[in-house]
């Protein structure tokens, strides 16, 4: 077979993607079009795409790429709403390690947590209105339905949990990001303690999508929430009291993950939902939550008033980033929503 140039590869990839959008079939190519820069990002956080990483073919299809995790062995886990294999586990080279799950039609958030030395997954399902706890090999250990006795939900289908946040003491919080925007707190043993947030708690609809528990700053830790369509990060204490807000104009933060002394934020699109055809990008933030690099986006710029100026995608790189994680080598992995059924994109740091 004759060798292919990078331009030829990108051209073929873009053609495959266009065909997949038209037909609805899965495609094994990231959504990267000709003219996109070879190096993405700015400053100390610059990356290049690893072509072909994670392509598995018809035997392991994906639908929307929703959640990601990296386990202690360096494997990359994808949570997709493809019920032939909801959880796909890759090694770092993008080869299939194993796959499992046929019971999550509304697969959405994935959190990998270490409990008593064992790695477990917390998975949310929008369609089943439930949160599941599972081993990384697929054994279901527990599950939680809608908080029926809280008085906040007249019926089950109003509860659509998007992600879970986990404190070091085992307490965990469920974000009802597609329902009524409440936050449900559970003890380490799995008993519901309280429900806060929602409209009466000052959290607007289409806000609390993803997030993490942050042990820095507040003495008791805090909830750091990606507020999606509201274009900001929201920090709450454990009672739901607002501690702060970080505006991310031009973005649409769907998830925030810690990566060493930094954070990565997946933006679904530029000013989504006003422009649903926008591509999106991934931001790298420092420990003070200032943007230092936009991967696939314009360079961050702060005005004299200290405010971040509106950001935008740059080049035809991503298609709706929904989650992003970083492995031990500093490589970045991005899962994408409504992207033509593409596999995760791996980017090596350079």
- Lowest mean pLDDT across 2-6, 50-54, 318-322: 2-6
Mean pLDDT of 324-330: 97
d(CA 230, CA 233): 9
Is 234 strand, coil or helix? strand
Dihedral, CA of residue 214, residue 269, residue 50 and residue 123, to nearest 10: 50
pLDDT category of residue 274 using cuts at 50, 70 and 90: confident
Q: What is the pLDDT of residues 226-260, one digit of tens each?
A: 999 999 999 999 999 999 999 999 999 999 999 99
Whole-number pLDDT of residue 34: 56
For each of the domains in the chain, give its residue range(s) and CATH number, in order of start.
6-349 (2.120.10.30)
Largest CA distance in the chain: 66
Whole-number pLDDT of residue 86: 98
**How many CA atoms does the CB half-sphere of 219 hold within 13 Å?**
0
Q: Average pLDDT of the chain? A: 91
∠ CA 49-69-63 to the nearest 5 degrees? Answer: 70
pTM, rounded to two decimals = 0.92
Quick one: what percent of the chain has pLDDT higher than 70? 90
Mean pLDDT of 307-325: 96
d(CA 294, CA 321): 13
Whether omega before 273 lies within 30 degrees of 0, making that bond cis, reads: yes
Whole-number pLDDT of residue 18: 44
Is 298 strand, coil or helix? coil
Q: What is the pLDDT of residues 251-271, one digit of tens each?
A: 999 999 999 999 999 999 997
d(CA 296, CA 264): 13
């Amino acid at each position: 077979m004759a060798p292919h140039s990078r331009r030829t590869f990108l051209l073929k990839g873009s053609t495959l993607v266009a065909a997949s959008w038209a037909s609805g079939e899965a495609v094994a190519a990231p959504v990267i079009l000709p003219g996109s820069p070879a190096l993405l990002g700015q400053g100390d956080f610059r990356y290049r795409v690893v072509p072909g990483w994670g392509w598995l073919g018809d035997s392991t299809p994906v639908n929307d790429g929703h959640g990601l995790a990296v386990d202690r062995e360096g494997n990359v886990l994808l949570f997709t709403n493809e019920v032939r294999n909801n959880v796909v586990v890759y090694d770092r080279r993008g080869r299939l390690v194993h796959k499992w799950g046929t019971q999550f039609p509304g697969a959405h958030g994935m959190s990998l947590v270490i409990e008593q030395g064992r790695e477990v997954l917390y998975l949310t399902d929008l369609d089943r209105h439930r949160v599941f706890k599972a081993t990384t090999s697929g054994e279901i250990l527990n599950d939680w339905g809608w908080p029926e006795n809280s008085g906040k939900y007249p019926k089950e289908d109003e509860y659509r949990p998007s992600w879970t946040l986990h404190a070091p003491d085992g307490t965990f919080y469920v974000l009802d990001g597609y329902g009524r925007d409440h936050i449900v707190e559970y003890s380490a043993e799995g008993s519901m303690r309280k429900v806060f947030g929602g409209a009466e708690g000052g959290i607007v609809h289409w806000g609390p999508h993803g997030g993490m528990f942050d042990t820095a700053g507040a003495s008791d830790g805090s909830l750091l929430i990606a507020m999606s369509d509201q274009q900001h990060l929201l920090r709450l204490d454990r009672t739901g009291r607002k501690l702060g807000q970080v505006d991310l104009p031009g973005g649409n933060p769907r998830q925030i993950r810690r990566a060493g002394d930094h954070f990565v934020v997946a933006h679904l699109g530029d000013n989504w939902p006003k422009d649903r055809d926008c591509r999106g990008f991934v931001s790298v933030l420092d420990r003070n939550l200032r943007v230092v690099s936009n991967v696939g986006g314009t360079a961050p710029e702060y005005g004299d008033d200290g405010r971040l100026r509106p950001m935008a995608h740059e080049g035809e790189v991503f298609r709706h980033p929904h989650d992003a994680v970083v492995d031990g080598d500093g490589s970045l992995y991005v899962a994408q929503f409504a992207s033509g059924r593409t596999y995760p994109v791996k980017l090596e740091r350079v």
